[in-house]
Amino acid sequence: MKYLRWLLCYPFSVALTLATWFLSPILALPIFVTVINGREWLIKPLRWFQTFDAPLDEGHFGGYFTTTSPYLYRMFWLVRNPAYGFGQYLFGINPAQKEVVIGSITKWDTGVDNWEYTDWGNAFNFRAQWFFTAKWFIRINIGWKAHAGFSRLMLTTHITPRKWNK
């Protein structure tokens, strides 16, 4: 059932990701931004388009982007982490049991194939890095993922080809 639920959520997650990417130049405008405790967030009706665990300016203050333009670092953050609020609150799930983990990702981002499967009874997460050449690999993160400090699991749908740059 958990796999069917993920498959049913998947197209909606992809559509919301595409919508966030498309709308990011508009969402990043100052009119849609509010300041809370000195940090920038989308106004409440739009907040599900951004990350639930970090403000819009995290790309700048966290050192992810080198631009000094507030507009650009807000837009880049939305593109980097699209529709996370939807994944957490609309499609998220509270785990039914303590996690059971098979495999290991202790070699994550080391250039070595690795994988991990986590099961919470009513939710799962599969993460893997599979190298198909010395320089190219597929990064997979599907199912639901846990975030430190949050009990609810967030829907994740990442299947991304990447180039190894190390």
User: Between residues 125 and 65, which one has the greater pLDDT?
Assistant: 125
- Split at pLDDT 50, 70, 90, the class of 108 is confident
Return the amino acid letter for 43.
I
Domain map (residue ranges) of the chain:
2-90, 100-163
Q: What is the mean pLDDT of residues 110-120?
A: 93
Rounded mean pLDDT, 79-99:
95
> Does residue 129 contact residue 161 with C-beta atoms inside 8 Å?
no
Quick one: average pLDDT of 114-123?
96
Whole-model pTM? Answer: 0.87
Does residue 166 register a pLDDT over 80?
no
pLDDT at position 49, please?
97
| Residue 97 banded pLDDT, cuts 50, 70, 90 | very high
pLDDT bin (cut points 50, 70, 90) of residue 92 is: very high
Mean pLDDT of the residues in the chain: 93
User: For the chain, how are helix, strand and coil distributed in percent, rounded to 5?
Assistant: 35, 30, 35
Flag whether pLDDT at 78 surpasses 90: yes
Q: Which residues contact 98 (CB under 8 A, 6 or more apart)?
A: 120
- Residue 6: pLDDT band by 50, 70, 90 thresholds? very high
User: pLDDT tens across 28-48, in order?
Assistant: 999 999 999 999 999 999 999
Distance in angstroms (rounded) separating the CA atoms of residues 91 and 44: 18
pLDDT tens-place string over residues 129-153: 999 988 899 999 999 999 888 899 9
Distance CA 35, CA 23 (A): 20
**pLDDT tens-digit profile of 17-32?**
999 999 999 999 999 9
